[in-house]
């Protein structure tokens, strides 16, 4: 049922498969281990809402916004993410394997230990993002803005960084990750 407003509600192990939740507005809600497979969350707005260990499989998130939210441990598979807005979102331990995230503004977001393997992050704004411990195996980061981002040596070695925009600290960390001595 489209155009609903949920405030301070809590859901655990709920199945929202194929639900029509277009234009849903959530404030201070908690979803734990909920299934949003093939759910339409287009044009939804979420503020201070937690989606913990949720499944988003072929979920429509077109024109949705997430502000001060946690998507900790959630799994995103073949979702429609364009366009979507994330502001002050924690993606710790989430999975975006092969996700089409190219061109999105993800600056300042927290991606600690997030699985971004094979994700398309070309031309994505990841400035000031926290990517410590993120799995970036074959992630495409060409043209991405990584200035001020936190990336560990493992991430720097795994990702495809050709053409990425980096700052001097990341350049030094990149050189060190490949065994170079900077003096």
pLDDT digits (tens, 9 = 90+) for 139-179: 999 999 999 999 999 999 999 999 999 999 999 999 999 98
Q: How far is CA 85 from CA 5, 30, 32, 48, 158, in A?
A: 19, 19, 22, 14, 27
**Of 90, 119, 135, at which residue does a domain stop?**
90
The confidence band for 82, taking pLDDT boundaries of 50, 70 and 90, is confident
pLDDT at 102 over 90: yes
Q: Is the pTM of this model over 0.75?
A: yes
The reply to whether 32 and 78 lie within a common domain is yes
- What does the alpha-carbon distance between residue 123 and residue 125 come to, in Å, rounded to a whole number? 7
Q: pLDDT at position 1, please?
A: 64
pLDDT at 29 over 80: yes
The reply to whether 61 and 99 lie within a common domain is no
Q: How far is CA 69 from CA 17, 111, 126, 148, in A?
A: 21, 13, 18, 22
CATH of the domain at 123: 2.160.20.80
For residues 91-105, give the mean pLDDT.
96
The reply to whether 107 and 71 lie within a common domain is no
Total tally of structural domains belonging to the chain: 2
Tokens 């509600």 map to which residue?
A: 9
The reply to whether 12 and 54 lie within a common domain is yes
Tell me the average pLDDT of the chain: 95
Domain around 166: 94-177
pLDDT at 182 over 90: no
């Amino acid at each position: 049922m489209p155009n609903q407003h949920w405030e301070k509600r809590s859901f655990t192990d709920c199945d929202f498969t194929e639900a029509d939740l277009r234009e849903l507005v959530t404030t201070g809600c908690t979803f734990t281990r909920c299934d949003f497979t093939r759910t339409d969350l287009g044009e939804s707005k979420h503020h201070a809402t937690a989606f913990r260990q949720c499944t988003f499989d072929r979920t429509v998130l077109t024109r949705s916004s997430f502000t001060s939210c946690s998507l900790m441990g959630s799994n995103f598979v073949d979702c429609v993410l364009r366009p979507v807005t994330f502001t002050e979102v924690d993606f710790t331990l989430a999975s975006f394997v092969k996700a089409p995230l190219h061109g999105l503004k993800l600056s300042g977001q927290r991606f600690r230990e997030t699985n971004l393997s094979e994700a398309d992050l070309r031309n994505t704004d990841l400035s000031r993002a926290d990517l410590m411990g993120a799995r970036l195996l074959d992630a495409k980061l060409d043209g991405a803005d990584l200035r001020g981002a936190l990336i560990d040596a493992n991430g720097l070695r795994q990702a495809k960084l050709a053409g990425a925009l980096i700052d001097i600290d990341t350049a030094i960390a990149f050189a060190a990750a490949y065994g170079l001595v900077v003096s």
